[in-house]
Structure 1
Amino acid sequence: MRIGLLASGGLGLNVVKYFLAKSGLTFVMTDRKSTDIIQLAKEKKVPYFVGNPRDGRSQDFIKDKQIDVLISVNYLFIIEKDLINLPSKIAFNIHGSLLPKYRGRTPHVWAIINNEVETGITAHLIDNGCDTGDIIEQIKIPIGYYETGAEILRKYSENYIPLIDRVISKIESGKLILLRQDNLKATYFGKRTPEDGRIDWNWQKERIRNWVRAQAYPYPGAFSLLDSNKIVIDEVVFDERGYEENMPNGLILSAEPFLVKSPNGVIKIKKFRDIDFQIQSGKILE
């Protein structure tokens, strides 16, 4: 079976390595920032395409390869209809959620923020929408109470290849069963930027904890401002100490330990990134 791969980043690199080890990769398409994928394709003498697939050159590139299956893994670009129809059998994508929930970008981060206890990955047909194609196969992944966004992404990475293998096996056996997504159950989340990480200390303590762990190192991180100085926070826990109800949310109750008031309890900041200013009790995080 001739397989073409659309791949970006670390998740994509792992899948590229897997298919190269099996001598089962016809070509790879990637973006300019995925230099590890580009270098590997050069070393292994695998045909590769770098850049936006909508520039007109990619269609001829894929047509010449006469592939059976096109797989998208963490690919940065939206795939146009004229590319979807080029493989003889199927074009499918691996998405980091249990579709139809959490369509869109960084779904694992949003799942943690929303206090989900389970996420997963979905293999689905590529269509003209955003993560809207028929579902082929899913793997469920639990979210631990203390797990961070990066830790969940590692779980995703461990399950990408088993999921792809299941789909390939079904294609080869002719036992592919498709499940149409229920759009009434769908949710969508857009692209996040580092500035989206700001903590609102008027949130309940549970949301603040989830907000922090979802974006903890090596991600850009949740943050607050202290006198216009940025503090990036990587871990918080709840603290049983009391406070006066009329105290403002975000008030620093203590510098050591670093305690902050929220609407429904005290939060202890256990880990934060290096700063060149002093934490002072009585100040307010914003």
Structure 2
Amino acid sequence: MLKERNIPVELVNYNDINLDSYFNSLKNKFIISANNFYIFKSKCIENNIIINYHNALISKHRGVNAHIWAIWDDDEYSGIVWHRVDNGIDTGEILIQKYIKIDNMSAKELLLAQHRAAIESFKELIDVEFEVKQLITNDKNGKLHKKKELPNNGILDLSWEQKKINRFLRSFDVGVFCDIEYPKVEVNGVFLEIESYEINSDVITLNFTNGERLNLKGLK
């Protein structure tokens, strides 16, 4: 999109450079961070303008796998933001924010909806040359999620009510978009990995990586 408007762009390949050395050497650059897990250091932040795409409403979730946590926490809405980067994690002032109603989305469906919203929002920012008249204050109160953290430590509890099981399964339904472990459930003293699932009105079917399946009936 930037190249279409004759704005010079340099793409950074993570595998070819030492990121700390590269970014700390930059001055007076405009850096766009999207789907990026690198944490910019203070020197780079002080010497450049950096904006970051985050796939959540920052008031709810900061950090990694925000789309997963939005579903697990039973949020009615998720969304996206483009925000300035400061020395915190997803704590900078917000340039633009969009809301997405979750309904019964899976994590992969929500992530795709977020990416579409992020692209459209980026177009809006280009149109105003990234000069937003009124920045949105970041309250910095959203939960900070780390990479190794997963809902209920990745364990499905069969004593939960149907709605909670539904949320758990949808939150782990990431497709090819995220590298997390399969969720597990204990059956007859053995933990089995849930590869896929089917949700119907009166039964939830769990398909395990070992080829077996479990039908959950009579859930509340």
For this structure pair, what is the TM-score category when the shorter chain's length is used for normalisation?
A: 0.7 to 0.9
Alignment identity in percent? 21
The alpha-carbon distance between structure 1 residues 85 and 190, as it changes in their structure 2 partners (threshold 3 A), is same
SS of 1:28 mapped into structure 2: coil
Q: TM-score, normalised by structure 1?
A: 0.63
1:200 aligns with 2:157: yes
The alpha-carbon distance between structure 1 residues 158 and 277, as it changes in their structure 2 partners (threshold 3 A), is closer
What amino acid is the match of 1:275?
A: N
1:177 aligns with 2:112: no
Alignment correspondent of 2:94:
135
1:59 aligns with 2:21: no
Alignment correspondent of 1:73:
34
Alignment of 1:61-140 (within 5 A): 62-63=26-27, 67=29, 69-87=30-48, 90-140=49-99
SS of 2:196 mapped into structure 1: strand
Alignment correspondent of 1:232:
194
The alpha-carbon distance between structure 1 residues 155 and 277, as it changes in their structure 2 partners (threshold 3 A), is closer
1:154 aligns with 2:112: yes
Q: For residue 155 of structure 1, report the CA deviation from its aligned partner.
A: 0.7
The alpha-carbon distance between structure 1 residues 225 and 19, as it changes in their structure 2 partners (threshold 3 A), is farther
Alignment correspondent of 1:209:
166
Q: TM-score, normalised by structure 2?
A: 0.80
Q: Aligned pair count?
A: 210
Q: Which has the higher contact order (CA 8 A, sep 6+)?
A: 2
Q: For residue 138 of structure 1, report the CA deviation from its aligned partner.
A: 0.4
SS of 1:119 mapped into structure 2: strand
Given the alignment, which residue of 170, 191, 204 partners 1:269? 204
Q: Is the 8 A contact 1:237 1:269 kept in 2?
A: yes
Q: For residue 92 of structure 1, report the CA deviation from its aligned partner.
A: 0.9
Q: For residue 180 of structure 1, report the CA deviation from its aligned partner.
A: 2.1
Q: For residue 91 of structure 1, report the CA deviation from its aligned partner.
A: 1.6
The alpha-carbon distance between structure 1 residues 31 and 200, as it changes in their structure 2 partners (threshold 3 A), is farther
Deviations 1:48-100 (A, max 9, x none): xx45522x23333x34xx53x2111011110112212334xx32111111122
What amino acid is the match of 1:71?
A: I
Alignment correspondent of 2:10:
27
1:166 aligns with 2:124: yes
Deviations 1:176-222 (A, max 9, x none): 32122224x43222224679322123333322210111112526442
Deviations 1:137-188 (A, max 9, x none): 101111122x11011111111122211122233335x4432122224x4322
What amino acid is the match of 1:191?
A: K
The alpha-carbon distance between structure 1 residues 224 and 177, as it changes in their structure 2 partners (threshold 3 A), is same
C-alpha RMSD of the superposition: 2.9
Q: Is the 8 A contact 1:102 1:188 kept in 2?
A: yes
Q: For residue 225 of structure 1, report the CA deviation from its aligned partner.
A: 3.2
Deviations 1:238-267 (A, max 9, x none): 765xxxxxxxxxxxxxxxxxxxxxxxxxxx
